Amino acid sequence: MKKILVFMGVVAIVIGGYVYSKQSSAKMSSLILENIEALADSETGGRICFGKGLVDCPYNHDKVYMYDAPYSLYY
């Protein structure tokens, strides 16, 4: 009876360790999180500068071909 309890305890520890290792390896790297944030950024801001040219982009002050912005009282 004692051998069965010890065996079941060892099996439970092994299964718990396996589940824990799978959960900890499923965390996203910082590069993936930055890419997700970059993709979602245009949905919230809507400020876009295109190409290289003579027009001054009002958001980062680079010379661009054209820029697009939603109507706003702040810009």
Strongest mean pLDDT among 10-19, 31-40, 41-50, 55-64:
10-19
Distances (CA, A) of 24 to 10, 18, 21, 36: 21, 10, 5, 20
Note the pLDDT of residue 10.
92
* Pairing state between β 63-68 and 48-56: antiparallel
What would the pLDDT profile of 34-45 be if each residue is shown by its tens digit? 777 777 665 545
Note the pLDDT of residue 18.
86
